[in-house]
Structure 1
Amino acid sequence: MLISEGMQPEIVGMIMGASGLATLFVRFPIGILSDVVKSRKIFIQFSLLLPLITWPIAYLEPNATTLYLAKAADGFTAATWVLYNILFIRYFDKKDAPAAVALLALAGPLGVFLGNCIGGVLIHFFDKNIGYFVSSVSALLALILTFRIKEVHDAARAPTLKACINSAKRQLADRSVWFIGLLATIVILVPFATRDTLTPIYAQQLGAKAGILTLLSNVHLIFYALAIALCSSVFYKRLGLVKTAVIGIILQVVSSIGIPFTSNMYLIYIFQAIAGFSFGMAFAVFMSLSVVNTVEDEQSTRMGLFQTIYSVGMFIGPVAMGLMLQHINLSSGYLMIGALSVIAAFLTPMAARSVYQRQSKAAIKSLQQLSTAQARGYANKL
């Protein structure tokens, strides 16, 4: 729609990347503040108010500024995803946290799938801008549902501001979370650069209309959800986390390089399906690794930092593709994505080792502290 209204590709890239930029600045502070305030629900509720305000404004006055603000509001709302993760994994044992994160990740593609379907129907039968209200209405429904959330707080164990700051410092100094976050940035850059930016433009150049563009996005989402569903139940058990991620990233390379070298829409559908499935495999692993054996009091902070890091990919992907479209060509964008994915595939085993080494060091430190405490207790008895 933006391209058809005459906006330059780099402006389109900036608008599409606005949500990623917003989450980049908000996710980490939200994780810390929610621990200090001792409430996650209030942040979720506030964030859901923003799409209720900004998208109706974009509908009444659609231009680059209002659309950028509306996308940024969506990004702020998405930034609270860290809080959804933490609230959700509290329903599971600590050892089941990776599988719980992968399970909750199904909500993402399901929500986007429904949004695409409803938006596609509205755009087809009514005015194209009417689709903006899908975000507002879904935010309203989610806001109503938040009143069913019951938070349980242990005042004695609730972290203080000083404790949260110390926790943030520990996480910022942890190289493993930066390593995992960097690779997740590359992995999430792929769908934001291709599925949400390059592929719709390329399909439109081939003559695709709104219905086809919606179907293309939904094919990606369906196979993304399928891969995530299989991660915790099949791939993790049979392949392990590292092999699951590496295979997923290799498939991302195949799908990225394949699309610009065919004009056959059926082949593009196949590559889009591979792209969705591969993204689900790789991204679920990095989400799981981000919370493996993290103490409960630091889960919000660590997840917030991890999601902040990979938000860079959500912003850079569309912006970089917009610039490449404007100054080079469409195929170069796909090839650049493929090259980055190859690098990520080689670095993934090293990143996983850094996480497991961190766990081993933490376990040894805990044993040392326990031994010291036991020795002191024995001495006191003597």
Structure 2
Amino acid sequence: MSNTQKKQASLILWIVVCFWFAQYVYIPYQTTYLILANISSNLVGAIIGAYGISQLMLRLPAGILADLSSNHKLFILFGSLFAGGASLSRILLPDGIGFFLGNILSGTASATWISFMILYMSFFSQNDQIRATSRIIMANNAGMLLGFVTSTLLYDKVGMMMICAFSLAAGLIGFVLAFFLRSTKPSNYMNKVSFKELIKVTANKNLVLFSCLALVQQGVQMSTTMSFTNQIVQELGGSNLVIGVSSIIYMLSAVVFARLASTKFLEMMSIKLWICFSFLFLGVYCVLVPQTDSIVMVCLLQLIPGIGTGVLFSLLTSSAMQTIPEQKRSTAMGFFQAVYALGMTVFPIISGSIYEHLSMKYAFIFLAGTCFLAGTVSFVHFRRQEKSGRGVDKKSEVYHQI
């Protein structure tokens, strides 16, 4: 990698931090803010799920357009602008409608995440794709963590609208920084392919499988750590500060594990075991959280989904791209992100409905069941690969199978 490429890669990481700060600084208090505004649990689930609706609709088209144009800088500019603009909607309409529209705009911004990842990963060799994926996800999580720390320290003092103002400012800063990105294509970019050829990538079995597994991981994350786990902490008597600390513990865990995923730490186990055990632990988390009556225990349990965000999601993303030609990667990434956006949309709505009609406990049992199912499916998949002789399951080769 040349010195210029290193500078561009570093610049992307800084933009990523600003982008995800803007997207998540208000998240720890979104659910409690809306419920205190006398909005029903069903509607809160729909508002949270709205974040995934626009992603579900736009991520595949955005990926196709990115492959056809290769102008990732333009997508990053628009994404940063929409991330900040979403919170402007929340400031102007500080009610359910404003947050619903804001979450749709935030989802539209997240649809451009494809270009952030593809452009960054293009600066790294094929053997370094896991490391590259882990690093940009670490920057992603670092932006969220910074947002969570900011809102935790200041929410009680300045309120939700000022927190949304911070989000607006971060989006605008990312927008300005994006102007310094080079608009030229990466030097190793291959010849363009037709729209028909790009669409065919969605039939790739490997891509479909790992997209569905990511659907579960992201859906569970959005329903728990980003939503109803905070509600449980509040029902146990936790203050806004405690809710923020709980979210910080989760995000700090995610940052640490994402950093470890970019090192030889992954060689401790095969990718098969990392994915299977991560889903298992995530399921155990969903079983234990609604059972405990201790805020301290809930905070400690927040370390578990950090593994899912830091390690599991990095491996699912890299594995999904394993057999995809470079000239089709934006489309494939668009499909991958659209599928897991479905989980981010549907899971909070289902969980909110179960909570409304039954209880929080049953909502988390549903989420735990999906984790155990995903773990079983991934285990069966890797076993079939091993039997067919196509699987690579040696610790020493963990960096070279993707």
CA shift in 2, pair 1:207/1:149, >3 Å: same
CA contact (8 A) 2:223 2:348 kept: yes
Task: Name which of 104, 108, 112 aligns with 2:140.
Answer: 108
Structure 1 residue 58, shift from structure 2 partner: 2.0
Task: Name which of 39, 47, 50 aligns with 1:15.
Answer: 47
CA shift in 2, pair 1:55/1:154, >3 Å: closer
* Segment drifting more, 197-206 vs 289-298: 289-298
Query: What amino acid is aligned across from residue 71 of structure 2 in structure 1?
Result: S
Name the structure 2 match of 1:313. 343
TM-score, normalized by length of structure 2? 0.83
CA shift in 2, pair 1:234/1:248, >3 Å: farther
CA contact (8 A) 2:55 2:341 kept: yes
2:223 matched to 1:193?
A: yes
Task: State the alpha-carbon separation in 1 of the partners of residues 262 and 376 from structure 2.
Answer: 23
CA shift in 2, pair 1:331/1:154, >3 Å: closer
State the secondary structure of the residue aligned to 2:156: helix
Task: Name which of 349, 352, 363 aligns with 1:322.
Answer: 352
CA contact (8 A) 1:184 1:283 kept: yes
Task: Name which of 136, 142, 146 aligns with 2:178.
Answer: 146
CA contact (8 A) 2:50 2:100 kept: yes
Query: What amino acid is aligned across from residue 252 of structure 1 in structure 2?
Result: L
Deviations 1:123-169 (A, max 9, x none): 22123322111221111111011012113338997655xx2413323
Deviations 1:312-345 (A, max 9, x none): 1111122112111111100001111111111111
Query: What amino acid is aligned across from residue 333 of structure 1 in structure 2?
Result: A
Task: Name which of 67, 80, 84 aligns with 1:48.
Answer: 80
Name the structure 2 match of 1:250. 280
2:240 matched to 1:226?
A: no
CA shift in 2, pair 1:38/1:276, >3 Å: closer
Deviations 1:44-75 (A, max 9, x none): 21222224334223213212222111111111
Deviations 1:158-212 (A, max 9, x none): 655xx24133232122122111111111111111111122111111111112111
Structure 1 residue 278, shift from structure 2 partner: 3.7
Structure 1 residue 349, shift from structure 2 partner: 3.0
Structure 1 residue 355, shift from structure 2 partner: 8.2
Task: State the alpha-carbon separation in 2 of the partners of residues 253 and 138 from structure 1.
Answer: 34
State the secondary structure of the residue aligned to 2:35: coil
CA shift in 2, pair 1:186/1:44, >3 Å: same
CA shift in 2, pair 1:164/1:111, >3 Å: farther
Unaligned runs of 5+ in 1: 361-382
Task: Name which of 74, 89, 114 aligns with 1:82.
Answer: 114
Task: State the alpha-carbon separation in 1 of the partners of residues 388 and 356 from structure 2.
Answer: 44
CA shift in 2, pair 1:54/1:86, >3 Å: closer
State the secondary structure of the residue aligned to 1:248: helix
Unaligned runs of 5+ in 2: 1-32, 391-402
Structure 1 residue 19, shift from structure 2 partner: 1.3
Root-mean-square deviation over aligned CA pairs: 2.4
Task: State the alpha-carbon separation in 1 of the partners of residues 109 and 228 from structure 2.
Answer: 25
Task: State the alpha-carbon separation in 2 of the partners of residues 102 and 211 from structure 1.
Answer: 30
State the secondary structure of the residue aligned to 2:263: helix
Task: State the alpha-carbon separation in 2 of the partners of residues 349 and 104 from structure 1.
Answer: 27
Query: What amino acid is aligned across from residue 54 of structure 2 in structure 1?
Result: A
2:137 matched to 1:120?
A: no
Task: State the alpha-carbon separation in 2 of the partners of residues 235 and 228 from structure 1.
Answer: 10
Query: What amino acid is aligned across from residue 227 of structure 1 in structure 2?
Result: F
Task: State the alpha-carbon separation in 2 of the partners of residues 357 and 140 from structure 1.
Answer: 51
Structure 1 residue 37, shift from structure 2 partner: 2.2
State the secondary structure of the residue aligned to 2:238: coil
State the secondary structure of the residue aligned to 1:126: helix
The correspondence of residues 1-382 of structure 1 with structure 2, limited to 5 A, is 1-153=33-185, 159-160=191-192, 163-352=193-382
CA shift in 2, pair 1:22/1:358, >3 Å: farther
Q: How many residues align?
A: 359
TM-score, normalized by length of structure 1? 0.88
* Segment drifting more, 251-260 vs 94-103: 94-103
State the secondary structure of the residue aligned to 1:179: helix
Task: State the alpha-carbon separation in 2 of the partners of residues 324 and 219 from structure 1.
Answer: 27
Structure 1 residue 25, shift from structure 2 partner: 1.0
Structure 1 residue 280, shift from structure 2 partner: 2.5
CA contact (8 A) 1:116 1:214 kept: yes
Task: State the alpha-carbon separation in 2 of the partners of residues 247 and 95 from structure 1.
Answer: 24
CA contact (8 A) 1:94 1:293 kept: no
CA contact (8 A) 1:56 1:132 kept: yes
- Same amino acid, percent of matched pairs: 22
